[in-house]
Amino acid sequence: MLTTYPAQSPKPGQQRDSAVGRAIWLDLVDPNDEERKQAAAALGADLPMRDQISAIELSSRVRVEDELLRINIPAFARADSGQGVLTPLGILLSPSLLVTLRYAESPAFDRLAKTAEETHPGTSVDAFVTLFESVAGSAADHMQELSAELSQLSRETFSDRVGHSGTLRGVLFQIGRIQRHVTQIRSALLGVQRGLSHLCDTAPKWISRQQLTRLQVALGDLKSLGEFDQQLDDKMQFLLDAALGFINNDQNDIMKVLTIVSVVTIPPMILAGIWGMNFKTIHEYDWPYGYVFALTMIVLSMLLPLAWFKWKKWF
């Protein structure tokens, strides 16, 4: 899909040749060949293929060719395939046109599109700078949502309500899901941060000082998110250790109950086995109260271990 954003139009248009000619930003999402040709013709340069954008070597991250800036981010947006695979992002910027080439939906671009409709960036460079500001803002919002989820999981983990043991398995699955999201955000931010850091050091002359300052501020925001990311990692590790600790305690309680049951039931089983033998020489058979004596001894053999465990406070 090809979406155009003209400088003064409040709403984007899709696949309109006249709009492509007036646009300052062309946003391509998993484009077909025709859309790639339209964007390449408007930019005056070839668009990279997906495998070229996905290259992980640092030398291919940022390149300046005359008045064309190319930035490749190998892992940026999560695909909707259900497997959580990160897709690449390609950015091509000239003084008159910004072209973004991506293969999945992204909250950062949704945020940028809304900003573009409200503020109408005057130039392609303004839209380019706003893109990185949107990336930093969207990542911060997502991390705050994950932090709130971790706080809720913390309350559930350290709860003493009935059925607490049954929730611990779900807590482990939730921690795994959050860990996967945090890892994906970290990978995306690392690619953006590397490209933006290199760009701030070797910015083209047609990027003004004010725009470069905004890029440096966005870079500082991305670096500060790295510290917040470390806090999330520490909190997740703590919750994981706590959940596993509670599960181990529950298993120990189960083993304690089984041990007590086995110790309590062994003596009466031994007595019942002895008095259940078919020998005529067992004297208790001839006692007038032999049956009552046997039942009393069996009950006492159960009560005495229970009293011992109670005295030792092992229950």
**pLDDT per residue over 246-285, tens digit each?**
888 888 888 888 888 888 888 888 888 888 887 777 787 7
Same domain, 228 and 96: yes
Q: Domains in the chain: how many in total?
A: 2
Q: Are residues 110 and 193 in the same domain?
A: yes
Same domain, 78 and 93: yes
Residues 264 and 224 in one domain: no
- Measured CA to CA in angstroms, residue 102 lies from 53, 68, 216 at distances of 9, 18, 24
Same domain for 36 and 57?
Answer: yes
Quote the tokens at residue 64. Answer: 């300046």
| Cα–Cα distance measured from residue 77 to residue 102, given in angstroms and rounded to the nearest whole number | 8
Domain that holds residue 29: 2-249
| Domain endpoint, select from 223, 249, 275 | 249
Residues of the chain with pLDDT under 50: 9-18, 81-82
Whole-angstrom CA distances from 241 to 8, 154, 247 are 54, 12, 10
Q: What is the pLDDT of residue 15?
A: 46
Instruction: State whether 151 and 263 are in the same domain.
Output: no
Q: Are 263 and 244 members of one domain?
A: no
**DSSP code of 97?**
-
Mind giving me the DSSP string for 76-87?
EEE-TTSS--EE
Confidence (pLDDT) at 57: 59
d(CA 54, CA 50): 6
pLDDT score of 82: 47
